[in-house]
């Protein structure tokens, strides 16, 4: 029996074999088609219930199988799974197109849509109807047949190209190993980092130390290693991922993806891919995005240039460095930060044992939203590192299942993300609760030390947990509007707002205790964390803006005549570059957010959401960071509402007004 085709509540990981996936996809797609056909061929007059609602609940098993499969492809993949992904992605893309390009079905949707003003629908139902109608019209339902055929070809090709892009980045990350046998080469590295590098070498049956391109290995080396030549070697390896002209090169994939997205947008009647995407975002148009990014650029650039000059002077004074390079940035910034604030990650890390930080974020969720987390061992998991929790509310009602997977390994892509294995929805009077997952890549425990997080990793954990809460606290009727199914430039609000608690004494005292002595983090360190929060904020802002501008340079214009990825990128970076350019490196070829993930034409949304989060947290600060009334307003108007209403309406209901850009500039010290 194929475990994926049985009815399951929690994913039956231990029973699933790779050979189960294709038959499960084939059968689930056939069943979903039959459900869609039943809706299409219904002889009754089209109504909201028999057409729009029925569509939203169709294909549930296919969705569950897809989420299990693609989550594994991100967190625990192997060559066989990657092969299946290449095979199944075009089929799923074709299946999606069979729905949106189904004329008889669109006719039914259109019939209901035309009567929307006389139907007495709830706000959520109106949103679903609009979303469903746009889902068809924005994906080609109104096109002539020859154009529909071309749209299908583009979508099938894009689904394969995006996968290939991601596979190349992962393969490049796994391929590079810097094997060191001379201890002097590790000068400057804290003991814990040296031990982790030694343990990594040992796991590969090597003597000495091993440094890789995984963040927990790469970042400490760039930050602490005195050996400038080795920092350069590592930096160039990291920056040249999939940019070497070999079989793992992504330049051709980048050009093809950008051009196909543009052609697709044109087919649908949009000037560019960004015009198509932004129609369904708070930002609305590429012009608004550009003016938003450029407004911040004007404010941040003078500060960034001052900070860079300070860093240059410091490196020259300290080590006689005449020209600061990209591989010097993290190293001298860390040294300067230590000098200015007497603060470095090594002083802080003992207070951030992973288990304590997890307990802390749970405690904060309890104080704000009344949630309780109970670890369970009777739920199937896909890797021994995964921990699973049942989540209950203050009345002891089951809220969600929560999977936490926190350490790097070969089959796991880099970075950190939130995802779900099962959505929340209400059907036949039953509120079906979600299964949510956070996946990160934090330093593993060593033989002598537990997993101790850098402060940056602490904020990452809080960030992903904020997304997690958005999923866990979902409370909507329809699965496609539930949880994080919101406008993309609104989705980062719950995650980014939660990071603010990492800087507050009241919150830190709940979990930041020394892993050996149990001592609560000293007040002076908390003060230094707060003071250093705006350290090099101008440079950080410039960096984020440069990524947003790079994204728009691929997607907010006509890329038809682009032939050189690097040249295109350098043009995009003109106004934001502080360091000299390096010929060997290229960001676009490994910019997974926009070429593999869902952030194309959306990278600006990190900054956009920072405006929302700074404004939202200012409200918490005014009333108290654990104020129950404000937390309840946030939960009821933002976290539980998913995509049921326009996000600005939801935000104003929570805050009483539109967000102000000044809140961000003030917090960042850029006013």
User: In 10 A of CB 537, how many CB atoms?
Assistant: 18
Nearest partner of 170 among 457, 564, 569, 596, judged by Cα:
596
Distance CA 269, CA 275 (A): 10
Per-residue DSSP letter, 385? T
3-state SS class at 420: strand
Marked catalytic residue, from 60, 464, 504, 610: 464
Do 178 and 212 form a contact (C-beta atoms < 8 A)?
Answer: yes
Determine phi and psi for 450, rounding to 5 degrees.
-70, 180
Determine phi and psi for 271, rounding to 5 degrees.
-65, -40
Nearest partner of 415 among 456, 453, 460, 385, judged by Cα:
460
Per-residue DSSP letter, 207? S
Distance CA 93, CA 89 (A): 6
Buried b (16+ CB within 10 A) or exposed e, 272-307: bbbbbbbeebbbeebeebbebbeebbebbbebbeeb
- Judged on CB neighbours under 10 Å (0-12, 13-18, 19+), 611 is buried
Return the bridge partners of 179, or none: 210
**Whether residue 464 lies in the annotated active site:** yes
Per-residue DSSP letter, 246? S
3-state SS class at 325: coil
Distance CA 449, CA 459 (A): 21
Using alpha carbons only, what angle is made at residue 19 by residues 13 and 25, rounded to the nearest 5 degrees? 80
Do 568 and 243 form a contact (C-beta atoms < 8 A)?
Answer: no
Helices and strands (DSSP H and E) totals, the chain: 27, 9
Say which residues have a Cβ less than 8 Å from residue 204's Cβ, sequence separation at least 6.
Answer: 177, 210
> For 491, how many CA atoms within 13 A lie in the half-sphere containing its CB?
25
User: So which residues are the catalytic ones?
Assistant: 464
């Amino acid at each position: 029996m194929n475990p994926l085709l049985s009815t399951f509540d929690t994913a039956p990981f231990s029973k699933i074999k790779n050979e189960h996936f294709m038959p499960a996809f084939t059968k689930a797609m056939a069943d979903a088609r039959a459900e869609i056909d039943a809706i299409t061929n219904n002889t009754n007059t089209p109504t909201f219930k028999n057409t729009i609602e029925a569509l939203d609940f169709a294909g549930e098993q296919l969705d569950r199988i897809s989420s299990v499969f693609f989550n594994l492809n991100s967190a625990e993949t192997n060559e066989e799974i990657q092969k299946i992904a290449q095979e199944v992605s075009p089929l799923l893309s074709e299946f999606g197109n069979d729905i949106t390009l189904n004329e008889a079905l669109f006719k039914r949707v259109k019939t209901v849509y035309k009567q929307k003003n006389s139907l007495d629908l709830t706000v959520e139902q109106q949103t679903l109807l609009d979303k469903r109608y746009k889902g068809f019209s924005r994906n080609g339902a109104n096109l002539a047949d020859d154009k529909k055929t071309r749209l299908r070809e583009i979508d099938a090709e894009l689904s394969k190209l995006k996968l290939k892009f991601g596979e190349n980045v992962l393969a490049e990350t796994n391929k590079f190993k810097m094997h060191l046998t001379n201890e002097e080469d590790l000068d400057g590295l804290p003991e814990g980092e040296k031990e982790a590098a030694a343990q990594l070498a040992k796991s590969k049956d090597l003597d000495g130390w091993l440094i890789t391109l995984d963040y927990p290995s790469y970042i400490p080396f760039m930050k602490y290693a005195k050996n400038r030549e080795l920092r350069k070697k590592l930096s160039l390896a990291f920056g040249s991922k999939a940019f070497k002209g070999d079989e793992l090169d992504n330049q051709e994939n980048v050009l093809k993806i950008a051009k196909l997205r543009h052609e697709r947008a044109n087919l649908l009647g949009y000037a560019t891919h960004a015009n198509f995407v932004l129609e369904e975002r708070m930002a609305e148009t590429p012009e608004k995005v550009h003016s938003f990014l450029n407004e911040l650029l004007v404010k941040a650039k003078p500060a960034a240039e001052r900070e860079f000059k300070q860093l240059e002077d410091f490196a020259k004074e300290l080590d006689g460095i005449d020209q600061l390079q990209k591989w010097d940035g993290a190293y001298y910034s860390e040294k300067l930060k230590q000098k200015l604030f007497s603060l470095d990650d090594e002083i802080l890390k003992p207070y951030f044992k992973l288990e304590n930080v997890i307990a802390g974020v749970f405690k904060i969720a309890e104080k704000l939203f009344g949630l309780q987390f109970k670890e369970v061992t009777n739920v199937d998991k896909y890797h021994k590192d995964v921990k699973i929790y049942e989540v209950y509310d203050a009345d002891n009602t089951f809220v969600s299942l929560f999977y936490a997977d926190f350490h790097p390994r070969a089959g796991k892509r880099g970075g950190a993300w939130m995802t779900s294995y099962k959505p929340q929805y209400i059907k036949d009077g039953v509120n079906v609760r979600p299964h949510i997952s956070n996946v990160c890549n934090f330093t593993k425990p060593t033989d002598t030390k537990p997993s101790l997080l850098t402060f940056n990793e602490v904020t990452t954990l809080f960030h992903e947990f904020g997304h997690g809460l958005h999923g866990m606290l979902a409370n909507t009727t329809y699965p496609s509007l539930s949880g994080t199914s919101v406008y993309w430039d609104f989705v980062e609000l719950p995650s980014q707002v939660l990071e603010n608690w990492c800087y507050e004494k009241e919150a830190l005292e709940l979990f930041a205790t020394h892993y050996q002595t149990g001592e609560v983090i000293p007040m002076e360190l908390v003060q230094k964390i707060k003071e250093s929060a705006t350290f090099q904020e101008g440079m950080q802002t410039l960096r984020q803006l440069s990524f947003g501008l790079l994204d728009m340079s691929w997607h907010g214009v006509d890329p038809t005549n682009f032939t050189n990825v690097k040249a295109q990128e350098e043009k995009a970076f003109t106004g934001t570059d502080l360091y000299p350019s390096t010929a060997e490196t290229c960001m676009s070829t490994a910019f997974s957010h926009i070429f593999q993930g869902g952030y194309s034409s959306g990278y600006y949304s990190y900054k956009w959401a920072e405006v929302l989060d700074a404004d939202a947290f200012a409200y918490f600060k005014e009333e108290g960071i654990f104020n129950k009334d404000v937390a309840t307003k946030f939960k009821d108007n933002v976290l539980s509402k998913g995509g049921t209403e326009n996000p600005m309406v939801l935000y104003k209901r929570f805050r009483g007004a539109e967000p102000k850009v000044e809140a961000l500039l003030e917090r960042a010290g850029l006013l």
